[in-house]
Amino acid sequence: MAERNQRSDTNQTDEHRRRSLFLEWLAAHNVTWDAERIDILSCPESEYEQEESAINAHGKRVRGTDLAGEDTASEAPLSRPAYCCRAKQSLSVGHEVARIPKHAVLSAHNSEDLRHVMMQHEMMQSGALGTIVALMYERARLEQSKWFGYLQMLPLYEPLPVMWSALELEGLRGTDLSRTVQQDLLLMKQDYEELVKPMCEELARLSGASQAAFSFNEFKNAATIVASRAFYVDSTHGDALVPVADMFNHASGREHVHIESNRDDEHSSDDADDTDKRHSAKSSEQEQAVDPFLSIVVVQEARPGDEVFNTYGTISTSALLKKYGFVEEGHENKYDQVIFALSSVVQLVASKLGVDVDVVEARIHEWTPCLLSLDDEEDDGDDDEEDDGDDDNEDDGEDEDAGELVVSDIDGKNERTDSEIESEDDRDGDGDEQEVPDFFLESSGHPDLWFSSCLIALCSGENVETLLARGREQRAVLSGPARDMLLRLVEDRLASFASPRALLKQDGARMLCARVLVERERAILLRCKKVYGKVQA
């Protein structure tokens, strides 16, 4: 007990030191925030405090192995708390609570030495991958880093599923997230080996650190920070770490603040011009002169004592867990869905119809352009059906306006190689090569329009374009073989989940997240089974 109390006192002293360094850093870099109306506090419920039992007497995490077979132990303690913002006084709409100069954001563009290295290696700087490398580099520089004070407030990593052990990931069995985590790890490893590792020796020399500071483990640690905290700033900085802004936590439908900038691109980072991304080393002096800072503005009133929230967008429980490492409890999420992999649908249909798998897959690929041409119309229909008129702030989407937390996959998909970009261009010009949209059940339990249309067309030979044009009413006549296939997919998915009883026996924040996700996906599948499992005349 005495040892635990001593460790707690040490952590509090360390937190006070880091907070002081951070506040000094804010002042030195002209980052302003309204300290009279808002406070930055540590959150005692952070996973790092819940993991006290996983930290041994030496302040190191108990060793384990992740899915990639890498040693997950770290010399750095994991007990840094998470942070949140609370209102000290009433906050009124339109009030600016913070202003962050763009020169203070942590991006590859702002890290001058790193920028030159990346240019030599023909690596673009304006995406998440550039920021991941920048974070590794600045961490390696320690006190010499321009961002040393800011780095004191960041954890070693965020507890995204790519950081979970194989045992912990067993709790996600049956969810689509379980499948995509495996893919993300492979893509991360590929990005590191092909794009980052060739620079490591030079980065180590410039930073004065050993090459261990640029290992795959450090890359993965940095990737979770960027994936969960990066904001799209502009086409020059791309997805960057924005001090202060990243301390506002997410709450669905309770956005108190919004991050604003007169950026040169009023669309999402995914829609940013490819040319800007590939040639982001060009100077942005003209843009900086027009809009040299980001502003955090109140968009919904908050009372004294309230936690002040940002929103990460209209996002499902699965996406929250994958990209930010947490779930929201206590209420249903209308954006939840159950995704079915193309391979599982194709294999079942081919088996039932007695045709080759390649034939079924080719048909679905041929139909994809029909859906894409109706995308805008379908989105309008979704707004009419699901929005209740008070979601103006949620219309931004997951990464649409400046300052919204960018929803970048952990593998840094936005930072593709030139060959990958060229292959995407090829797909745009050839319908057969376009990526097939996901098949999913909506939170109501109904298959989405694309899913139901494909099932009906595959079983009946009806024209997919006609089915899509009919809209949602065609789902009401989902019957016969198409209905049977849907129910079979549902039953197979239900049977694949980890046992709810087994999940209840597991402790810890990660297993709690897994339980919430599995329960919500099970609920959607059971709704589908209830609706379409009825005997139809």
- The 10s digit of each residue's pLDDT in 304-337 is 999 999 888 889 999 999 999 989 887 788 999 9
Per-residue pLDDT, 399? 39
Residue 220: partners with Cβ closer than 8 Å, 6 or more residues away: 70, 157, 162, 163, 188
Over residues 430-437, the mean pLDDT reads 63
- CA–CA distance, 241 with 245 (Å, rounded to integer): 9
Across the chain, mean pLDDT equals 77
Distance of CA 267 to the CA centre of its chain: 18
Q: Which of 108-122, 137-151, 276-290 has the highest mean pLDDT?
A: 137-151
Q: Report strand pairing: 231-232 vs 32-33.
A: unpaired
Q: How far is CA 537 from CA 94, 477, 483, in A?
A: 58, 11, 13
In this predicted structure, the answer to whether residue 5 has a pLDDT above a threshold of 90 is: no
**526 is written with which tokens?**
């059971």
Per-residue pLDDT, 167? 87
**177 is written with which tokens?**
């997230």
pLDDT band of 410, cuts 50, 70, 90: very low
Per-residue pLDDT, 534? 65
- CA–CA distance, 69 with 74 (Å, rounded to integer): 15
In this predicted structure, the answer to whether residue 40 has a pLDDT above a threshold of 60 is: yes
User: Which CATH architecture is the domain 2-160+168-311 placed in?
Assistant: Alpha-Beta Complex (3.90)
Per-residue pLDDT, 277? 31
Out of 210-219, 372-381, 489-498, least confident range: 372-381
Per-residue pLDDT, 312? 82
- Tell me which residue has tokens 């502009």: 234
Residue 475: partners with Cβ closer than 8 Å, 6 or more residues away: 446, 447, 449, 452
Per-residue pLDDT, 61? 30
- Residues paired with residue 82 on neighbouring β-strands, in sequence order: 43
Residue 162 burial (10 A CB sphere; 0-12, 13-18, 19+): buried
Give the single-character DSSP code of 192: I
Q: How far is CA 405 from CA 128, 323, 356, in A?
A: 12, 10, 43
Distance of CA 188 to the CA centre of its chain: 14
Are 482 and 455 spatial neighbours (Cβ–Cβ below 8 Å)? Answer: yes
Burial string for 352-387 (b: 16+ CB within 10 Å, else e) reads: eeeeeeeebbebbbebbebbeebeeebeeeeeeeee
In this predicted structure, the answer to whether residue 383 has a pLDDT above a threshold of 50 is: no
- Residues paired with residue 99 on neighbouring β-strands, in sequence order: 32, 295
In this predicted structure, the answer to whether residue 265 has a pLDDT above a threshold of 90 is: no
Out of 136-150, 371-385, 490-504, least confident range: 371-385
At 165-188, the pLDDT tens digits run 998 999 999 999 998 998 999 999
* Alpha-carbon torsion (245, 34, 146, 148), positive or negative: negative
Q: Report strand pairing: 38-43 vs 82-87.
A: antiparallel
Over residues 186-212, the mean pLDDT reads 94
In this predicted structure, the answer to whether residue 485 has a pLDDT above a threshold of 80 is: yes
Better pLDDT: 2 or 437: 437
At 349-358, the pLDDT tens digits run 999 999 999 9
- Tell me which residue has tokens 């702030």: 393
CATH number of 333-382+436-537: 3.90.1420
Per-residue pLDDT, 249? 87
Share of the chain above pLDDT 90, in %: 49
Question: What are φ and ψ of residue 516, in 5° steps?
Answer: -60, -45
Per-residue pLDDT, 478? 83
- Tell me which residue has tokens 């507890």: 159
Q: Which value, to the nearest 10 degrees, does the dihedral of the CA atoms of residues 354, 355, 357, 359 take?
A: -160
In this predicted structure, the answer to whether residue 137 has a pLDDT above a threshold of 90 is: yes
- CA–CA distance, 319 with 161 (Å, rounded to integer): 11
pLDDT band of 91, cuts 50, 70, 90: very high
In this predicted structure, the answer to whether residue 15 has a pLDDT above a threshold of 50 is: yes
Per-residue pLDDT, 81? 56
Better pLDDT: 47 or 171: 171
Over residues 221-234, the mean pLDDT reads 94
* Residue among 283, 242, 265, 261 at smallest CA distance from 115: 283
- Give the count of alpha carbons within 13 A of 127, CB side only: 24
- CA–CA distance, 81 with 76 (Å, rounded to integer): 14
Better pLDDT: 243 or 288: 243
- Give the count of alpha carbons within 13 A of 129, CB side only: 25
Out of 74-78, 140-144, 376-380, least confident range: 74-78
Q: What is the pTM of this model?
A: 0.77
What is the residue extent of each domain of the chain? 2-160+168-311, 333-382+436-537
- CA–CA distance, 454 with 440 (Å, rounded to integer): 12
**133 is written with which tokens?**
């490398």
Q: Hey, how many other C-beta atoms are within 10 angstroms of the C-beta on 51?
A: 17
- Give the CA angle between residues 521, 394, 340 to the nearest 5°: 25
Share of the chain above pLDDT 70, in %: 70
pLDDT band of 14, cuts 50, 70, 90: confident
Per-residue pLDDT, 443? 94
In this predicted structure, the answer to whether residue 100 has a pLDDT above a threshold of 50 is: yes
At 491-527, the pLDDT tens digits run 999 999 987 676 666 778 888 899 999 999 999 999 9
